[in-house]
Amino acid sequence: MMVSKRQTTAIVLLAGLLLAGCSPIQPWVKPYEREHLADPIMSFDRSPISSGYLDHVFEVREGARGATGSVGGGCGCN
Amino acid sequence: MNTFQQQRVRWLIALAFGLGAVGHADVLPEDRSDVLYHRYDGGGLTVQGPSVLVRKKFGDSFSASYQYYEDLISSASIDVVSQASAYKERRTQNNVGLDYLRGNTLYSIGWINSNEPDYKSNTGFFNISQSMFGDLTTVSFGFAEGWDKVGEVSKGVFQKFVGDADHRNWSVGLSQVLTRNMLLGLNFEADENNGYLQNPYRGVRFVDPFSGKGYSFGAAVSPNTRTGIAGSAQLKYYLPWHAAVDGNYRLYNDTWGITANTAKLGYTQTLFTDWTLEASARYYWQTAANFYSDLFPYQNSQNFMSRDRELAQFHSLTLGLGASYEFHPAWPRWIDKGTLNFNYNRMRIDYLDFHNNLILSAVPGDEPLYTLDASVMQFFISFWY
């Protein structure tokens, strides 16, 4: 069976990709490059007590809930 | 007297009380304490009260937390005025949690108890979080189960329990470092509810030619099961002038026919060395539940009927502002730093199929649509130690 040049190229590329999966993933953002990410203003939830309260204010007045990644709590009054 | 404890799952508290869906798994949460005063004022309802959250590490592997929360409620909302009389009541909630760190894995468990005169709720939760790929990725999984007892109160006196409600919730979360300036958070949740899932105090409105107003109120009936799913994505980006911008989108759908979208934009700006200012805009819109109607054609016209405005079609806009001032007290010396914080949110809800029946109309159902304007205020002080 003859293997075309294009097929050979595809096989080599595929093999390369598969072999790359055997090596550990290298972090593309090094620890010393995370200064900005470590800044408190980059936190998704800087004050859980506050975001939790606000989430609950919405939750008791809306039909949707969940997937906020934050705290609930509070009453659900008329 | 007409009190109401909404069927709200406490596990949402659980999912983040110990961990936060986009937290880092290889470190324990910070040692900090917060003391908060909150106040909601809108639509004839005032809810205010304190909350305290304390978190402390023990050794290198454990962190414990406790939160107390209280609502003092004074209500003369449209629902209360329409079908009963104004009331006051108090709700308290206690949360305890424990985190255990082992390697890159964080295990969290906890318990939440909520107590009102006519609503008792207990929730247990478990969460596991694992960081990987050089701490660029954190995945988490959580499960919670809650058990509620729903009752009725009249003139301040407990009458009877009307039913039980059980809740189960599963969640998965992903936190991903995308670049040296950008973070991504993904969350997915599914919840299942069984039992008494309606408000015992709210009835439905139906056309009644024998009534002077042209309508009367009757009993509401909701299905005794409800299953919902929610997925969200959030991005946060660091700006070179020591500021951050974030965006969040959530899609929700449940078996009652409600589909909801939430979109939020936020901006955080530091000022001088000790001030942090925040601004946010949140837009929410939802479809109505299948069995919701503002005005049914006659009494008992359907198997399931509700006029809960939380199940109506509406959209809302909330604008928020916040300020935080950081300080470093000389005494006591074990406190590293503190912050004074103030947040204010203005919320407006425009209902699209819930009419203001307090305004008289010649034809029932022709009343103007109801709108709700509310102020939500928080003042809190935080300490790190």
Please, are residues B159 and B201 in contact by the beta-carbon 8 Å criterion?
no
Whole-Å CA distances, B47 to A57, B98, B345, B351: 10, 29, 14, 22
Q: In chain A, which among 43-72 make CB contacts under 8 A with chain B?
A: 44-45, 47-50, 52-72
User: B71 vs chain A: nearest CA distance in angstroms?
Assistant: 6
Task: Give B4's pLDDT tier (boundaries 50, 70, 90).
Answer: very low
Q: Which of B13, B185, B311 sits opposite A44 (nearest CB)?
A: B185
Q: pTM for this one?
A: 0.88
Nearest to B96 by CA among B52, B66, B61: B66
In the prediction, which pLDDT does B201 show?
87
User: Average pLDDT in the B251-269 region?
Assistant: 98
With cut-offs at 50, 70 and 90, classify the pLDDT of residue B9: very low
Cβ atoms of B183 and B236 closer than 8 Å: yes
Read off the pLDDT of residues B122-138 as tens digits, 9 standing for 90 and up.
Answer: 999 999 999 988 889 99
Query: What pLDDT shows up at residue A4?
Result: 78
**Given B77, B91, B256, which is nearest A78 (Cβ)?**
B77
Q: Which chain B residues are Cβ-neighbours of A36 within 8 angstroms?
A: 180-181, 238
With tokens 């080599």, the residue in question is A12
ipTM: 0.91
User: Which one-letter amino acid corresponds to residue B28?
Assistant: L
User: By three-state DSSP, how is residue B225 classified?
Assistant: strand
Q: Which residues of chain A have pLDDT under 70?
A: 1-3, 17, 19-25, 69-78
B111-122, pLDDT tens digit by residue?
A: 999 999 889 999
Residue B2: pLDDT band with limits 50, 70, 90: very low
Instruction: Tell me which chain A residue has its CA closest to the CA of residue B174.
Output: A69
Tell me the nearest-neighbour CA distance from B217 into chain A, angstroms: 17
Sequence-ordered strand ranges (E) for B255-331? 259-271, 275-286, 314-327
State chain A's maximal CA–CA distance in angstroms.
78
CA–CA gap between residue A75 and residue B115 (Å, rounded): 10
Which tens digits make up the pLDDT trace of B84-102? 778 889 999 999 999 999 9
Nearest CA in chain A to B179: A29
b/e burial code for range B259-291 (CB count within 10 A of at least 16 → b):
ebebebebebbbeeeeebebebebebbbbbbeb
pLDDT band for position B370 (50/70/90)? Answer: very high
Percent pLDDT > 90 in chain B is 82
**Mean pLDDT lowest among A8-12, B139-143, B206-210:** A8-12
Chain A residues with CB under 8 Å of B276 CB are 40-41
User: Is residue B40 predicted with pLDDT exceeding 50?
Assistant: yes
By three-state DSSP, how is residue A8 classified?
helix
| Overall average pLDDT of the B140-152 stretch | 93
* DSSP per-residue letters across B244-264: EEEEEEEEEEETTS-EEEEEE
- pLDDT digits 0-9 by tens, A4-15: 778 888 887 787
In whole angstroms, how large is the CA radius of gyration of chain A?
A: 25
The reply to whether omega before B297 is within 30° of 0 (cis) is: no
Q: Is B121 left (phi over 0), alpha (psi -120 to 50) or beta?
A: beta
Q: Does residue A39 belong to the interface with chain B, where contact is any CB pair within 8 Å? A: yes
Mean pLDDT of all residues in B350-361: 95
- pLDDT, tens digit, 9 for 90 and up, residues B270-306: 999 899 999 999 999 999 999 999 999 999 999 999 9
Whether the per-residue pLDDT at B215 is higher than 80: the answer is yes
Average pLDDT over chain B reads 91
**Burial status of residue B130 (CB atoms within 10 A of its CB: 0-12, 13-18, 19 or more):** middle
Report residue B22 as tokens.
Answer: 């986009």
Please name the residues in contact with B192: beta carbons below 8 A apart, sequence gap of 6 or more.
B167, B168, B169, B225, B226, B227
Secondary structure of residue A38 in the 3-state scheme: coil
Angle at B110 between CA B104 and CA B111, to 5 degrees: 170
Q: SS3 for B348? A: strand
Cβ neighbours of residue B50 under 8 Å, at least 6 residues apart? Answer: B35, B36, B37, B38, B68, B70
